[in-house]
Amino acid sequence: MNAIVQPAAYPSPEHDVMSHVRRTWGFDRLRPLQAEAIDAALAGRDALVVMPTGGGKSLCYQVPPLVSRRMSVVVSPLISLMKDQVDGLRACGYPAAALNSALSADERRETERQIASGQCRLLFVSPEKLLSDFFSGWLARFPVGHFAIDEAHCVSHWGHDFRPEYRQLRMIRDRFPSAAIHAFTATATRRVRDDVVAQLGLRDPCMLVGCFDRPNLAYRVIPRTRAVEQADAILRRHAKQASIVYCMTRKETDATAAELRGLGHRVAAYHAGMSAGDRRRVQDRFASEALDVVVATVAFGMGIDRSDVRCVIHASMPKSIEHYQQETGRAGRDGLEAECVLLYSAADVFRWEGLMTRSAVEAGAPDSVIQHHVALLRHMRDYCAPGRCRHRQLSEYFDQEYPRGNCGACDTCLAEHEEVGGATVLAQKILSCVCRVGERFGVRYVVDVLRGANTEAIRRNGHDRLSTYALLKGEDPRELTQVTYQLLDQGMLSRVGDDKPVVRLNEASWRVLRGQQEVRLWRSSSNVTLASQDAGDAWAGVDPGLFEALRDWRRETAVRRAVPAFVIFGDATLRELARRRPSSTASLLQISGIGERKQGEFGEELLRVIDALCREHGLTRDVPPENPAGGPRPRRTGPLPEVAARLFRKGWSVARVAEEMCRAESTVWGYLAEFAAREDAPLDPWIQAKTVARIEHEADRLGDQRLKPIHEALGGDVSYNEIRVVLRRRDKGAHEPRREERPGC
């Protein structure tokens, strides 16, 4: 937490605030900076509030009108977001409404009546509607206590999602001089924050800037080789859980969604090329849990209020860290563990450079704006390089220190990257080939020559007679392409041209070729865990069968009421129910997320579900909280893979380890694969010796280390988990290059 300026000293109606919070939302404490933001609104003071997604911004503008009994207005960019928020508030018994073009004439008149009578406490409108002279003049007739501007980074030219209509919201100051203005965003650098304050005309604002770090998220950046196969493997770690896959273009979005659907995922595409009705149907199906995965362009997300997204995959690199922070911020908004994976290729950098330059020139943007966006892209490219803690990089980008030495929740700190053996020799072979083809071709052509491809272009150019032809025959073309792009990223190759770019040598290239500079290259290992900083005990004590039964009940209830499932309860509340297993409606109020309205509305149904499962499985009831004082749960001693390794050394089965650690078996198989790669213990406690022999035989016969071909060759009767463990054991120290000669030009 980093509150830049504390609010001025004035009486805080803390008792009234917390009584409303307990009755309405069922929370017994506020999160960092929520009290300060609420106090500022009640005191009539302007504020800029920067909190990470999931940090609780909404409560900051929802509580003040309940305490002050004056209506507040929320400026929100999307109708779908307004609807979800209004549905959620009304489910808690909160008098909220929205005015937008999606309402019928009768609905609009009823909302206007509620406003005029003073019944409405929170009104959601779009910036375009508020800018209407007629509407703002009508609204000025009523006592508006304060305005909350959501997604306030859209105000700034320097923000990642500038919108001209947001720039005009300064009119609030003129039309409603007595109302406080609060600007809310999850992503804003110091430059953007200063611009928002200036453009909105905030008066002596309370500057509240929370911690940008999201400790419940595990960040990974891995080289993109086979995007769909990689996404499929990641999504299977989150089976039956909400996930988002971001693509750069509409064409890629449609193709990726179709391929993932063919692999058995419940998935749909979403992009701006679809009709508004089709986009809304996808959003509704995702919100109702009829879909697990949405493959989308960045058009998807801002209007989604689902809090239980467990995985966000970027199939291509975003164009700025602000975009990345905003999009990954859609994972784990309930505070529970989630995974964010970026499939990186330097090719994305060059694509973005071309797109951004062309669009800026067409729009007549000044050079300063173009240079600013190029700088944002460079920061994003630097983030993708291996070697530094991802949590630290994101915190420092937003001008905050990161206090931990090892976050325990990113690919770097979890040691999930393997250094390529013989990297300097491999780089020399690639650079030598670039030289021998005359520095006149792109990456793909160079890779084809190195692999000995029999193409018409290579024969026509006589490059099948070069000494570097087929020098790396048998190498995977996608992995070889990624290695070449790593050389571009590290400045050991140059790229020239936009329409038909070619790669050329530079001074660094010649130092490598002369043996004057060593090269380090990386590949992602299969050593992947789902650890995050705060995930250690997130499932401790939770009965998985009861949790799934409660999820089924939530889904069915949401369908009956025609609202998103998260409007009923979030995953955090369901986990707490499955952990505490209350036996009375009174004890339900001890569960975070259950207020008086939801206790009365859903209490009897919840108890029936809990009663049935507890009787069937002999589960105890009214389990006391592990942290009765309200503090954090004690963490396990050591990283989760090490905890699992200690149990594997005792010969425990995967199922027993999963039960002990409150982890899914698929996760524990990942721990076992890591254990097998590090230690020489026999595999027979977990995989029969004859099965190990069959897997090794097929791997040798096929000459392929990919899981799917081996699985198919074994007739599908050996699990992917078993194959992965055996291959990881064989993979130890097996990454030396096949040819060791040092080529020159």
Residue 428: its pLDDT value, please?
A: 96
Cite the residue boundaries of each domain of the chain with CATH code 1.10.10.10: 422-512
Give the angle 716-697-734 at the CA atoms, nearest 5°. 110
Q: pLDDT of 17-53, one tens digit each?
A: 888 888 888 887 888 889 999 999 999 999 999 988 7
Residue 528: its pLDDT value, please?
A: 59
Cα distances (Å, whole numbers) of residue 353 to 222, 227, 273, 359, 391: 21, 21, 23, 10, 26
Q: pLDDT of 274-284, one tens digit each?
A: 888 888 889 88
Query: What are the residues whose beta carbons fall under 8 Å from the beta carbon of 227, sequence distance 6 or more?
Result: 256, 315, 343
Average pLDDT over residues 185-206: 88
Q: Which two tokens stand for residue 228?
A: 């769909």
Tokens 């058995």 map to which residue? 264
Cα distances (Å, whole numbers) of residue 5 to 189, 207, 281, 515: 16, 5, 44, 55
Above 50 in pLDDT, residue 745?
A: no
Tokens 């997130």 map to which residue? 538
What percentage of the chain exceeds 70 in pLDDT?
88
Confidence of residue 735 (pLDDT cuts 50, 70, 90): very low
Average pLDDT over residues 102-127: 90
Do residues 372 and 313 touch, judged by C-beta distance below 8 A? no
Q: pLDDT of 674-707, one tens digit each?
A: 788 777 778 888 998 889 989 888 888 887 667 7
Query: What are the residues whose beta carbons fall under 8 Å from the beta carbon of 233, sequence distance 6 or more?
Result: none
Q: Which two tokens stand for residue 472?
A: 């790396």
Classified as helix, coil or strand, 317 is: coil
Residue 299: its pLDDT value, please?
A: 58
User: How is domain 217-418 classified at the architecture level of CATH?
Assistant: 3-Layer(aba) Sandwich (3.40)
Distance CA 452, CA 189 (A): 49
Q: Of 694, 680, 681, nearest to 722 (Cα)?
A: 694
Q: Which CATH class is domain 640-731?
A: mainly alpha
Residue 159: its pLDDT value, please?
A: 62
Residue 732: its pLDDT value, please?
A: 58
Poorest-pLDDT segment among 65-69, 153-157, 582-586, 734-738: 734-738
Q: pLDDT of 323-365, one tens digit each?
A: 899 899 889 888 888 999 999 988 888 888 877 777 766 767 7
Element (H, E) at 96: strand 96-98
Confidence of residue 673 (pLDDT cuts 50, 70, 90): confident
Average pLDDT over residues 460-479: 92
Q: pLDDT of 420-445, one tens digit each?
A: 889 999 999 999 999 999 999 999 99
Above 80 in pLDDT, residue 549?
A: yes
Q: Which two tokens stand for residue 650?
A: 């005792």
Above 90 in pLDDT, residue 446?
A: yes
Q: Which two tokens stand for residue 571?
A: 């995953």
Distance CA 319, CA 378 (A): 9
Side by side, which strands form the sheet with 267-270? 217-223, 338-344, 309-314, 242-246, 293-296, 267-270
Distance CA 307, CA 304 (A): 9
Above 90 in pLDDT, residue 252?
A: yes
Residue 95: its pLDDT value, please?
A: 92
Q: pLDDT of 558-610, one tens digit each?
A: 888 888 888 899 888 999 999 899 999 889 988 988 988 899 999 999 999 99
Above 50 in pLDDT, residue 629?
A: no
**14-209 maps to CATH 3.90.1300.10:** no
Give the angle 45-50-55 at the CA atoms, nearest 5°. 110
Classified as helix, coil or strand, 576 is: helix
Tokens 């909404």 map to which residue? 58
Distance CA 254, CA 402 (A): 39
Residue 661: its pLDDT value, please?
A: 66
Distance CA 369, CA 361 (A): 10
Residue 84: its pLDDT value, please?
A: 80
Cite the residue boundaries of each domain of the chain with CATH code 3.40.50.300: 14-209, 217-418
Poorest-pLDDT segment among 111-120, 153-162, 224-233, 517-526: 153-162
Count of CA atoms in the C-beta half-sphere (13 A) of 449:
30
Q: Which two tokens stand for residue 674?
A: 């890591």
Above 80 in pLDDT, residue 631?
A: no
Question: CATH fold of 422-512, please?
Answer: Arc Repressor Mutant, subunit A (1.10.10)
Above 60 in pLDDT, residue 537?
A: no
Average pLDDT over residues 631-639: 40
Residue 535: its pLDDT value, please?
A: 46
Above 60 in pLDDT, residue 377?
A: yes
Q: Which is more confidently placed, 217 or 365?
A: 217
Q: Of 221, 123, 99, nearest to 523 (Cα)?
A: 221
Confidence of residue 296 (pLDDT cuts 50, 70, 90): very high
Distance CA 408, CA 426 (A): 32
Chain center to CA of 701: 39
Instruction: Report DSSP state, residue 170.
Output: G
What percentage of the chain exceeds 90 in pLDDT?
35
Q: Which is more confidently placed, 404 or 466?
A: 466
Above 50 in pLDDT, residue 733?
A: no
Report phi then psi at 146, rounded to 5. -160, 155
Above 90 in pLDDT, residue 513?
A: yes
Question: CATH fold of 544-617, please?
Answer: DNA polymerase; domain 1 (1.10.150)
Q: Of 525, 436, 437, 450, nearest to 484 (Cα)?
A: 450
Above 90 in pLDDT, residue 510?
A: yes
Average pLDDT over residues 394-411: 86
pTM exceeds cut of 0.75: no
Average pLDDT over residues 357-375: 74
Cite the residue boundaries of each domain of the chain with CATH code 1.10.150.80: 544-617
Helix axes 571-580, 544-561, angle to 10 degrees: 130
